[in-house]
């Protein structure tokens, strides 16, 4: 039983990382109707920035973390304003190609500046374990879950109780009407991209200590995030979080207890989840089935 609880906690920890990135994808999709294929690479870039500040410039962890979040936010806003917005009027495919271009360019940039070497990243949390009810749980896992949870709560409070949050929600569901009440819709969308970049950065910085840092850090994570977002409902923020946690726990338990699956069939497992959900209920657990207006 203790072993089971341990695996659940580990699953929740990796699940929160998926949830954070999935939330980023959902935010952008809700606001701009686009899947940002470059979300993972943006997160990788953020993680490298944090790493370089702590390792090469002697910053201590949490200030570097905070700075990276701010830089990521600004970067997200800049990318939306500079590259995405001019293409929004065209077909969805145009924006998709632009995000693919961003994916390539950012991946290349990271390789160019920092080379493809794999690097070890220190964790902000002590690596020891503590005992809760007879179960050994690593502080890092608790810390990861805690950070993501705190972020999600802060975001939720912002969306529900602030003027800006309300404006962002309005801009996402009804941009034309939002303009009529004076909401600067384009800036609200940029804000969405900025927040998504922050979420991605958090994902990356939490994942790096365990999976090591190299330019392809987020490639696999992006797929888990897709799976989580599809599972939870691509337009539902709650769904992204729940989907991520469920996926994390589910894949971890499968990998531990079902011999056939093993560690390296986690990725196909996630892909299978995507396919099954899309076949059975495309709108995911929390999504609303689309009603086509004739």
Partner 1 sequence: MSRARWLAPVVAFVALAFLVAVLPSFISAFRAQQLAYVAIYLIALIGLNVLTGYTGQISLGHGAFMAIGGYTTAILIADHGVKDIWTIPIAGILTGVVGFLFGIPALRLSGLYLALATFAIAVSMPAVIKRFEGFTGGGSGINLFGLPDLTASLTPVTVLGRELTFNDWLYYLCWTIALVGYVVAWLLLRGRTGRAFRAVRDSETAAQSSGVSLPKYKTLAFGVSAAYAGVAGSLFAIATTFVNPDTFPIALSILLLVGVVVGGLGSLVGLIAGAVFIQFLPIWSQEVSKSPGAPAIVSGVVLIALMFVLPMGFAGLLARVRTLTKR
Partner 2 sequence: MSNPSVLLRLDGVEARYGPVQALRGISLEVPEGSVVAVLGANGAGKTTTLRAVSGTVRRSGSIEFAGKPLHGGPEAVARAGIAHVPEGRGTFTELTVVENLRLGAYTRRERNLDSDIDRVSKWFPWIPDRAQQPAGTLSGGEQQMLAVARALMARPRLLMLDEPSLGLAPMIVREIFRIVRELNEREGLTVLVVEQDARIALQTASTAYVLEVGRVAVSGPSDELKENESVRRSYLGY
86/89 Cα distance (integer angstroms) = 7
* φ, ψ (nearest 5 deg) of residue 234: -65, -15
Q: Which of 4, 66, 101, 177 binds partner 1 (CB under 8 A)?
A: 101
C-beta pairs of 82-89 under 8 Å, 24+ apart in sequence: 84/32, 84/34, 84/193, 85/186, 85/189, 85/190, 88/32
Please, which residue, 107 or 138, has the CB nearer to partner 1?
A: 107
User: Which residue's CB is nearer to partner 1, number 86 or number 126?
Assistant: 86
Helix (H) or strand (E) holding 131: strand 129-132
Look at residue 96 and give the partner it binds from partner 1, partner 2, none, a contact being a CB closer than 5 to 8 Å depending on partner kind. Answer: partner 1
- In the complex with partner 1, the residue whose CB is nearer, 15 or 287, is 287
By CB under 8 A, residue 150 contacts partner 1: no
Q: Which two three-digit tokens encode residue 124?
A: 């902000």
58: left (phi over 0), alpha (psi -120 to 50) or beta: left
Sign of CA dihedral 261, 263, 269, 271: negative
- When binding is defined by CB under 8 A, the residue of 5, 97, 135, 136 that contacts partner 1 is 97
Residue 265 has a CB neighbour count (10 Å cut-off) of: 15
Phi, psi of 105 (to 5 degrees): -65, -45
Please say which residue, 13 or 32, places its beta carbon nearer to partner 2.
Answer: 32
Candidates 123-131, 138-146, 163-171, 270-278; binding stretch for partner 1 (CB under 8 A): 270-278
Q: Rounded to an integer, what distance in angstroms lies between the CA atom of residue 219 and that of residue 224?
A: 9
Residues within window 210-239 making contact with partner 1, judged by CB under 8 A: 215, 223, 226, 230, 234
In the list 102, 121, 148, 167, the residue contacting partner 1 (rule: CB under 8 A) is 102
Exactly one of 66, 74, 282, 288 binds partner 1 (CB under 8 A); that residue is 282
Q: Which residue, chain included where needed, has tokens 């810390």?
A: 143
Contact 248, 16 (CB under 8 A): yes
Please pick, from the candidates 110, 147, 188, 195, the single residue that binds partner 1 as defined by CB under 8 A.
110
Q: What is the DSSP string of 54-65?
A: HHHS---HHHHH
Residue 291 contacts partner 1 per CB under 8 A: no
Q: Does residue 108 touch partner 1 according to CB under 8 A?
A: yes
Binding of partner 1 at residue 92 (CB under 8 A)?
Answer: yes
| Contact track, partner 1, 28-47, x by CB under 8 A | -x-----x------------
Q: Which residues bind partner 1 (CB under 8 A)?
A: 29, 35, 83, 86-87, 90-94, 96-98, 100-113, 115-116, 215, 223, 226, 230, 234, 265, 267-268, 271-272, 274-275, 278-279, 282, 290, 292, 294
């Amino acid at each position: 039983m203790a072993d089971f609880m341990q695996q659940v906690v580990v699953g929740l920890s990796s699940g929160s990382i998926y949830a954070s990135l999935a939330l980023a994808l959902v935010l952008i999709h809700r606001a701009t109707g686009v899947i940002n294929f470059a979300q993972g690479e943006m997160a990788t870039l953020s993680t490298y920035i944090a790493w370089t500040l702590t390792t090469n410039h002697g910053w201590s962890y949490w200030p570097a973390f905070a700075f990276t979040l701010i830089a990521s936010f600004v970067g997200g806003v800049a990318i939306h304003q500079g590259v995405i917005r001019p293409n929004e009027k065209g077909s969805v495919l145009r924006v998709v190609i632009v995000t693919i271009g961003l994916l390539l360019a950012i991946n290349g940039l990271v390789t160019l500046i920092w080379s493809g070497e794999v690097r070890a990243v220190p964790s902000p949390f002590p690596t020891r374990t503590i005992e809760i009810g007879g179960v050994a749980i690593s502080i890092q896992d608790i810390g990861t879950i805690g950070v993501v949870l705190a972020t999600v709560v802060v975001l939720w409070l912002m969306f529900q109780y602030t003027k800006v949050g309300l404006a962002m929600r309005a801009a996402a569901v009804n941009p034309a009407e939002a303009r009529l009440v004076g909401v600067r819709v384009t800036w609200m969308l940029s804000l969405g991209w900025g927040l998504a970049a922050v979420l991605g950065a958090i994902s990356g910085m939490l994942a790096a200590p365990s999976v090591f840092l190299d330019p392809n850090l987020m490639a696999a994570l992006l797929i888990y995030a897709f799976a989580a977002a599809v599972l939870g409902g691509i337009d539902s923020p709650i769904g992204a979080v729940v989907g991520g946690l469920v996926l994390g726990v589910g894949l971890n338990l499968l990998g531990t207890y079902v011999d056939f699956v093993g560690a390296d069939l986690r990725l196909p497992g996630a892909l299978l989840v995507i396919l099954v959900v899309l076949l059975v209920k495309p709108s995911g657990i929390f999504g609303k089935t689309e009603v086509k207006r004739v």
